[in-house]
Structure 1
Amino acid sequence: MALLACVAFISCKKNETLTESNELNASSKKQTTTFASYTVTTEAALKSAISAAAPGDQIKVSGTIYLTSTLQLLNSGTSSNKINFTTSNGGILDCSNISSGWGVKVNGSYWNITNLTIRNAPDCGIVLQHGGYNYLYNLKTHANKDSGIQIYNGSNNNYVLSCQSYDNYDVANGGENADGFACKLSGGVNNKFESCTANHNSDDGWDLYGQPYTVKILTCTATNNGYGTNGDGNGFKLGSAGQTVAHTVTNCTANNNKAYGYDGNGNTGHITITGSGGSGNGKGLMTRIY
């Protein structure tokens, strides 16, 4: 009897210990994670905040910041806690003091980049070069000397929503390269543009030249592109010769572009264009669409 009582006592104490441990774990899980928030007004403060940014943090640009070198977003957020790069009052990144290169380079993943203006870069305004799962919303990119927004070199699963890209002109090449939006030259998988506008860019509104994976373009508008001396001037350039890539264009509009509204450009993939149209394009609405 004494042995049985002892066993029962040990069992009871063990259960109490487990219960206390569970309560501690539950309490720990209820603790709120805190994220850093920075409001910056100078290039030095901006680059310091960007370099230190961790998942869930927020960096706000206040006023106009004049960059003297490319702003590099190299670290990453997570799928549940992205890094937020935005503005408190219409922030502008002016790149006119950069001697060469892109305005903003994104090599990290899981960034929300929203409500900013990026202008006057000596090359592209913003390039998503590596990484992926980035979200660009309500950006304005203009007066850059190459494409306003470009996805490139394996960057994947990016979503570009409600952005405007206009008046981009590569002076050195007579306007041959500066598109409003580009996903070209080896961008990765699952990139999408929605409700964006490209107008008065020296080359094309959208350029998918050399892009090996399907790009989706939805409810976007390309107007008056191709004003550069050497610009092609298509509203939507959907690939290039030797490619077989099934891009999709849905409910888009192409008006008054120098060349075609929609040009497959030699891409023999089954390009799907649905609910899209336009008028006033110099060479016609559609060509080389298979």
Structure 2
Amino acid sequence: MKSFLRIAFVATAFAGCAKNNDPVPSVDDPSLQAVTTSAVVVAAVNTTVTTESALKAAIAAANPGDIITISGTIKLTSTLQLLRSGTASAKINFTGGTLDCSGISSGWGVKCNGSYWNITNMVIKNGPDCGLVFQTGGYNYVYNVTTSGNHDSGLQIYNGSHHNNVSYCNSYDNYDSQNGGENADGFACKLSAGAGNLFDHCTATHNSDDGWDLYGQPESVKITNCTAANNGYGSNGDGNGFKLGSAGQNVPHTVTNCTANNNKAWGYDGNGNTGHITTTGSGGSGNGSGLFTRIY
């Protein structure tokens, strides 16, 4: 189903070429006033898809302002790649439905290398690796997205991806069986992600490694109003609620009004990061090793 909403304005000017010895006309010269302006309707597409082929075609053709809606469940057989970009005033909107990634033989479920996407109201599950990854690009907004049953982290930001806002999302039951649960976090912003990444009102539960993992993250991350509970069920999983960096780093992450309950290891672990980590209004209970450690 497609409707055409966007209007683009095209202006075409006609002016003669001046000879080398001709005077340069002023802006008030009547000869420069022969300008024709016309309005042309250009497609801003609102598409609802029910199959993998239709989804990938819509994603590949997406332009700023477009809306792509999944109806029902689509089973992916290869990684869905969001490579195009919207703009600050007209994001590309990708919403609804469920992406079952169990048909992918290897790799991530969804990869976003573009910028200015709104990804909302969606389930991404059963990926052979991470469920949803932001690899490059930035200024993306993720709202009410659930990632579960993936064989690495549910949602991961890394490799320079910046200024992503992840809000009201859930990530649970992610488990990398190939590594005994060593790597599958609920949310990961690690391994050289860019600046300005934010998690707000998100929940990470029953993931095999950590609820949040900021290992190797060189830029500050803000985590607000989030909950990490019952993480670390993999035999090799660390099981921290919030892992806030790694050894050799000095990065001032911020954790505000968060809760860590019943995680296998620590509620909040600086993990060797000597940066000033601010944990305002945050607490929890029932964590196997205790609530706070290595928080400077």
Structure 2 length-normalised TM: 0.87
Q: Paired residue for 1:66? A: 75
Cα deviation for residue 55 of structure 1 reads 0.6
Give the structure with the larger helix fraction. 1
The one-letter code sitting in structure 1 at the alignment partner of 2:90 is N
Take 1:138 and 1:209, find their aligned partners in 2: how far apart are those partners? 25
Q: Paired residue for 1:233? A: 239
Gaps of 5+ in 1: 1-12
Q: Paired residue for 2:147? A: 141
Take 1:213 and 1:195, find their aligned partners in 2: how far apart are those partners? 21
Q: Paired residue for 1:57? A: 66
Q: 1:180 to 1:160 in 2, by over 3 A?
A: same
Aligned counterpart for 2:56 among listed residues 17, 38, 47: 47
Aligned counterpart for 1:266 among listed residues 258, 262, 272: 272
Cα deviation for residue 35 of structure 1 reads 1.1
Aligned residue pair count: 268
Q: Paired residue for 1:5? A: none
1:181 paired with 2:187, answer: yes
Take 1:211 and 1:126, find their aligned partners in 2: how far apart are those partners? 18
Give the structure with the larger strand fraction. 2
Cα deviation for residue 266 of structure 1 reads 0.0
Aligned counterpart for 1:76 among listed residues 69, 85, 95: 85
Cα displacement string for residues 255-289 of structure 1 (whole angstroms, at most 9, x for unaligned residues): 00000000000000000110000000000000000
The one-letter code sitting in structure 1 at the alignment partner of 2:197 is N
Aligned counterpart for 1:246 among listed residues 246, 252, 276: 252
Q: Paired residue for 2:227? A: 221
Q: Look at both structures and tell me which one has the larger radius of gyration over its CA atoms.
A: 1
Q: Paired residue for 2:125? A: 119
Q: Paired residue for 1:212? A: 218
Take 1:178 and 1:170, find their aligned partners in 2: how far apart are those partners? 6
Cα deviation for residue 14 of structure 1 reads 7.8
Question: Following superposition of structure 1 onto structure 2, how do residues 97-176 of structure 1 map, counting pairs within 5 Å?
Answer: 97-176=103-182
Secondary structure at the aligned position of 1:49 is classed as: helix
Cα deviation for residue 32 of structure 1 reads 7.3
Aligned counterpart for 1:283 among listed residues 276, 286, 289: 289
Structure 1 runs of 4+ with >3 Å offset: 31-34
Take 1:45 and 1:57, find their aligned partners in 2: how far apart are those partners? 15
Identity %: 72
The one-letter code sitting in structure 2 at the alignment partner of 1:110 is Y
Q: 1:273 to 1:33 in 2, by over 3 A?
A: farther
Cα displacement string for residues 200-255 of structure 1 (whole angstroms, at most 9, x for unaligned residues): 00000000000000000000000000000000000000000000000000000000
Cα deviation for residue 33 of structure 1 reads 6.2
The one-letter code sitting in structure 2 at the alignment partner of 1:232 is D
Gaps of 5+ in 2: 1-27
For the aligned residue pairs, the C-alpha RMSD in angstroms reads: 1.6
Secondary structure at the aligned position of 1:273 is classed as: strand
Structure 1 length-normalised TM: 0.89
Take 2:247 and 2:156, find their aligned partners in 1: how far apart are those partners? 20
